[in-house]
Amino acid sequence: MILINAKKDVLYFTVLFLLFLTINSCNVKPESQPLPISVKSTLNLLQENPQFVMYMNFKNMRRTDFWKGNVSDSLLNAEKTFGSLLNTFKTATGASISDGLDELYYSNSWFGENAIVIKGVLDQNKLSAFLEKDTVFTVTKNADGINVYQMTDNGLYFYFRDNNTICASNYLKQLDVMLAVKDTSRSGILQNEKLYNSIQDIMYKDDIWMISSEKIFIKGIFQNFLQSTTGGKIEESDTAEISDSSSVVDSLALKKNLTIENLYKTFSSISFSVKMSNQLEMLIQCECVNEESSKYLKSILNGIISVAKISSAGSKKNNSMKLLDDLKLNRYDNSVFIELNVNEKNIKELRNANLLNAPE
């Protein structure tokens, strides 16, 4: 009888243990893609303390079915900043995101200066021809005899680091910093251990990623996300709840003191990354200062998304809110993931959506 009871106890604890493993296996943080060595070695050219950093690998993305069916130069040319930027290099070298431009690195500081690196098949002869017959570009030589070019209409400075790499900035002082960097230098972002470690944590690193560890920038992103999904606004100092949320959703999270201070200070970084194949796997990745903060953030996001879904129900003006039905919200220790897969069925809604604007 004792033996039978012992077997039952063993079986009972075995079942409990397996159940524990099963439950917890659903909450294991996915392994992030490794940072390519070539990308790491280029980060030393960007600013040490940027407001945000962005990386795009057009060469990888051009090979995918999603790119071929949904992406073209016009998509980025419509953007005020990056469309103008890419057109500058297209004019100078003939390289575009459709052909020739392989990689783009971009960082920006609070003071307005940027640091840009582009890689690809770059035609220096095209630029030389422009200099001979047009005033689109000017050229001077620095103390080391390196040609430094400037686009006359937007003031962008740039130089050819090698046959396949251009470094650029809107500030000549920043360009001088880039000129001084050697391939083996531990400079730029590589000196910012906190930001570099955050980049290492980004889930998708091969196609597109953008990251910021600056609290004020993160605050602006969260404000825009809130306004675009609920129409509400978090006040700077007041403990205001989301507009009309209390009458829509009885959520404990939304009844807390929902202030900017309570939200953006829980972040250590926020990133946006994309994996492209026959569809687009998009991920907003919120890294929090501790596990308690990530639990709080997830509860807040759950409330915001619930409010947005209910508020947009039956609204013909908010078709982009259909994307909220496809959003997945997961938490892994200190991390909160907002995931969305984009395909032929929901790409129109994505183009009209406004979920991750840069702060104004």
pLDDT surpassing 60 at residue 6: no
pLDDT surpassing 50 at residue 21: no
Q: Are residues 229 and 322 located together in one domain of the fold?
A: yes
Q: Are residues 166 and 206 located together in one domain of the fold?
A: no
Q: Are residues 206 and 312 located together in one domain of the fold?
A: yes
Confidence of residue 239 (pLDDT cuts 50, 70, 90): very low
Q: Are residues 160 and 268 located together in one domain of the fold?
A: no
Other residues' Cβ atoms within 10 Å of the Cβ of residue 87: 16
**Those residues with Cβ within 8 angstroms of residue 48's Cβ, 6 or more apart along the chain or in another chain:** 187, 188, 189, 191, 192
Q: Are residues 304 and 320 located together in one domain of the fold?
A: yes
Residue bearing the bigger pLDDT, 201 or 90: 201
Q: Are residues 139 and 79 located together in one domain of the fold?
A: yes
Output the CA angle 105-108-111, nearest 5 degrees: 160
The domain in which residue 249 lies consists of 197-352
Q: Are residues 220 and 143 located together in one domain of the fold?
A: no
pLDDT surpassing 60 at residue 62: yes
Structural tokens at position 266 = 């829980």
Q: What are 285-322's pLDDT values in tens digits?
A: 999 988 888 888 888 888 877 877 776 666 654 555 66
Q: Are residues 296 and 348 located together in one domain of the fold?
A: yes
Within a domain: residue 9?
Answer: no
Contact (Cβ atoms closer than 8 angstroms) between residue 115 and residue 100: no
Which of 141, 163, 191 represents a domain boundary (last residue)? 191
pTM of the model: 0.80
The C-alpha atoms of residue 183 and residue 162 are separated, in whole angstroms, by 11
Which of 172, 191, 210 represents a domain boundary (last residue)? 191
State the number of CA atoms in the 13 A half-sphere of 210 facing the CB. Answer: 17
Q: Strand, helix or coil at 59?
A: helix
Give the count of domains, the chain. Answer: 2
Which of 168, 191, 214 represents a domain boundary (last residue)? 191
Q: What are 65-93's pLDDT values in tens digits?
A: 988 888 765 455 444 456 677 778 888 88
Q: Are residues 258 and 275 located together in one domain of the fold?
A: yes
Least confident window among 38-52, 135-149, 292-306: 292-306
Confidence of residue 226 (pLDDT cuts 50, 70, 90): low
Confidence of residue 332 (pLDDT cuts 50, 70, 90): very high
Within a domain: residue 25?
Answer: no
Confidence of residue 274 (pLDDT cuts 50, 70, 90): very high
